[in-house]
Structure 1
Amino acid sequence: MHPPSRQFPLHLHRRVSLKLTFDFAADSALAFDELQCHLEVDGQVQAPYGSGVYLLRQLWSPARQQAQGPTREARLVNGYLSEIRADHWAILLELKRAGLEPTAAAIQQQWQSGRALSAQLMPLYEEHLTRLHQRSGPDRLSQHSLYRWNRGYHQLKDYLAQQQLTELAITGVSIGLAKTYYYWLRARPLSIDSAARYVGHLKEVLQFAVEEDLLANNKLTAWHIKAQPPKTVYCLSPAQLQQLQAMALPQPLDVIRRWALLSCYTGLDFKDAVRLARHPSAYLVHSAHGAKIVIQRLKLKALPRAQPEWGVCHIPLLAEAKVLLEQAPDWPPVTIQRVNRNLGEIEKRLGLPFRLSTKICRKTAGALFLLRGYRTEAVQKILGLRHLRTLERHYLHLYSELVDDTMRQQAHPKA
């Protein structure tokens, strides 16, 4: 198993040594006596305690740890001792799932109490994640699916931390909690598909609990997220992009504008645009047809064991981007939070009906390359998108200019 770059805690699967043996009390000479449990966990030895099993001393073999002889009594005793060992191992796992340290004293106390522990949600999520990573053959999930599962784990962890529910038991997961989690995801903001996927992961973890006999029923099976229309995809029109390029701004906002324009003319996420601006020569490739930018998207480097080829962007170096890159060494460093915060002021000056952000700038590049005649397959590669349908869903319905421009070219072909 190769762990993802963003690892989830694996304390559930920390190796724990448990040894349980049985014998009669050393200070007793009774012919018929109770076998004592001798428990050792990670080298910690617990004082002997009663097993509840009584046996004739002459039938017990300490070396073989079993009752001897062909009698029905011996078979029943050995079966019960086997169940006691299994119970101790089960309690060890229950303690882990409940977020508790599996010490020898805790295991003894829980076994003697006979009370069932309620597994905590996040430790159980971790266990399910580990099993997903350990699948092999045709049942193994793709690297992209495993990455999404890990992302979902961190989303749920952040949500529970904000709600002060870090020690939530699986019995406390209700439809109401799942709904508030869904709306919290949408407000981040995440798309409907992403939010529904992460809630689906939560539902699957609860189903795993049912299959492990940790939960009587999965409450979330009764709730289904209603289909909603896809969210509107915004980007700057050619006129708005020209307005952004030409507008005069005070120095602090002007720097933000330049960073935004670099994303608009390359389609790079902000962090990738920073890498390009700081070391352009490392990513520029020159050919007989002109220069292009070849860069691996940082976002996809988080995929476990993968540097997907579809995530390597091949971006034609537009004249506007070339000018910006020549100026970039003089730009002061900024954070993505600062850029997005100040883009709100630029948005007001442009009079945009939508929120301007670095993501909008990246989407603007997709529309821009389409309007400049690049085929959809080429724009897919420019943006480093895995699926062509993502591009089609986001861009092909945005501009009537695509149709108008094609009609113009057919009506007035170049000589």
Structure 2
Amino acid sequence: MSSQVTVYIYARASKANAAGQHPIYVRITIQGKRTEFSTRKFIHPTKWDQKTMKIKGSTEEARSINNYLESIKNKLTQTQVILEYQSVNITLDNFMNAYQGKSIKRERTLIPIFQDHNKKLKALIGIDYSEGTYERYETSLKHTQNYIKHQYGTDDIAIDKIDHAFVTGYDFYLRTEKDCSNNTTVKYIKNFKKIIRICLANGWLTQDPCLNYKVKLQEVERNVLTQEELETIIEKKITIERLDAVRDIFLFSCFTGLAYIDVKQLTPDNIIKGIDGQLWIDTKRQKTNTPSRIPLLSTALDIIQKYHDHPKCNNENTLLPVASNQKMNAYLKEIATICGIKKELTFHCARHTFATTVTLSNGVPIESVSKMLGHKSIRTTQHYAKITDSKVANDMDNLKALIESQKANPIKRTS
């Protein structure tokens, strides 16, 4: 048997009968806890071999008792194998109940619940969730499994053993062993907390182990192109075809605010005539499934027209010839170098540039920006749209002009 279950058979001197014979006992030890039971067999102590845990000799009595002891050991081994096969957490109580043919208390453990959640989430891809959301939960599951192995030396943990120490230990593990940033750590713990909420909702847990875990996301300074940098990219002559196409698609996002996956999935059917009689984009964001309707600015319209007959667009029925996100970001680094832009240029930078430089800085109300970005809350938009110094200066100039105008045309008071 494995070291998880230890079996020790011995002749117990303290229970000797009137004839001086010792009863044979079996001791079971699991995870530091032990129990004993009598075999109801007695033997003279001189005939007992403690090393082999058998009776010495080959008499009929010795063979009979040794065979009986062997059958006990075989049944104990079989009990352990069955429990391991059924993925039952082997405790002393569970083991002895199973050995004696009694029903066992099945402990709910964390990993199967997490796996079941991810399985259901996968089935809802394209309905309620995106592929990216599923992949993030799968990564969270792997980190959770690795943490349990690292911290507890086992593959799983009973959910009633998850406490505040488990959660804070997981946080520490992600920051140190996995070298995760604060925001990445908080997001993984957030995914883990969803599994805990499932356990609470089903009554499998009575107390929330995450209740006193208090960590906040830190605000990250997003890269946003200035008007000058945007114009530099627009005006730069690029003769390499692949870079020229990436530049155009990046600019399209700068002037529409669409994320990479939403640009990639655009088809000619997403171009509609809006309420003003002009062309608009009408789509749903893949990430949140919220509507996003955006009037097309001239720069975006020119880019659509440029790739109207592109072979990739015709073959795939897409609006633009979008490459993989990995390639797009790699080529954008080249474009940044060519244009002399020191900032790290990624495709998502375009969405922030639309929110800040293209719209908000030019007086578009944040409510309108939020609707075009497909946000459910203006609070989310505030993370994208930053009030720049130039916007503050422009607003203050307008205020100064208003004040000066009022001074020049004072309101006449009536007595």
State the TM bucket, normalised to the shorter chain.
0.5 to 0.7
Per the TM alignment, residue 345 of structure 1 is displaced from its structure 2 partner at its CA by 2.1
From 294, 297, 309, the equivalent of 2:285 is 297
Pairing 1:290-369 to 2, within 5 Å after superposition: 290-301=278-289, 311-329=290-308, 330=310, 332-367=321-356, 368-369=358-359
Paired amino acid for 1:355: E
Contact kept, 8 Å, 2:257 with 2:352, in 1: the verdict is: yes
1:295 is paired with a residue whose SS is: strand
**Mapped contact 2:183–2:217 kept (Cα < 8 A):** no
What is the aligned counterpart of 2:233 among 244, 261, 267?
A: 244
Give the conservation status (yes or no) of the 8 Å contact 1:340–1:358: yes
- Cα distance change of structure 1 residues 164 and 408 upon mapping to structure 2, 3 Å threshold: same
1:376 and 2:366 aligned: yes
Instruction: Return the alpha-carbon distance in structure 1 between the equivalents of residues 284 and 88 of structure 2.
Output: 39
1:390 is paired with a residue whose SS is helix
Match of 1:122 in 2: 111
Measured against aligned partners, the alpha-carbon deviations of 1:338-367 in whole angstroms (never above 9, x if no partner) come to 101221222334454542211111111111
- Partner Cα distance (1:291, 1:325) in 2: 11
Q: Tell me: higher relative CO, structure 1 or 2? Use CA pairs within 8 A at least 6 residues apart.
A: 1
Q: Select the residue among 155, 165, 180 that pairs with 2:139.
A: 155
| Residues matched between the structures, number | 290
Does residue 391 (structure 1) correspond to residue 381 (structure 2)? The answer is yes
Give the letter for the 2:359 counterpart.
F
Q: 1:197 corresponds to which letter in structure 2? A: K
- The 1:210/1:292 distance shift into structure 2, 3 A limit, reads closer
User: Do the aligned residues in 2 keep the contact of 1:182 with 1:195 (CA within 8 Å)?
Assistant: no
Please say if residues 271 and 282 of structure 2, whose CA atoms lie closer than 8 Å, have aligned partners that are also in contact. yes
1:229-240 maps to which residues of 2 (within 5 A)?
Answer: 229-240=218-229
**TM-score normalised by length of structure 2:** 0.55
**How far apart in 1 are the matches of 2:321 and 2:86?**
52
Does 2:155 match 1:168? yes
**Code of the aligned partner of 2:345:** L
Relative to structure 1, is the Cα distance of residues 290 and 185 closer, same or farther in structure 2, using a 3 angstrom cutoff? farther
- Taking only aligned residues, the RMSD between alpha carbons, in angstroms, comes to 4.8
Give the corresponding residue for 1:179. 172
Could you say which residue in structure 1 is the equivalent of 2:190?
197
- 8 Å contact kept, 2:254–2:353: yes
Q: Within 1, Cα distance between the matches of 2:182 and 2:373?
A: 21
Q: CA deviation at 1:387?
A: 0.6
> In the alignment, residue 159 of structure 1 is paired with which amino acid?
H
CA apart distance, 1:235: 1.4
Unaligned runs of 5+ in 2: 1-81, 122-126, 311-319, 403-415
* Cα-to-partner distance string for 1:90-111 (whole Å, 9 max, x where unaligned): x99x94677xxxxxxxx99982
CA offset at residue 283 of structure 1?
2.6
Alpha carbons 2:148, 2:156 under 8 Å: kept: no
SS in structure 1 opposite 2:307? helix
User: Distance in 2 between the 1:284 and 1:252 partners?
Assistant: 29
Per-residue deviation at 1:197?
A: 1.9
Structure 2 distance, partners of 1:189, 1:411, is 43
Which of 363, 371, 389 is equivalent to 1:400?
A: 389
Distance 1:186 1:234, change over 3 A: farther
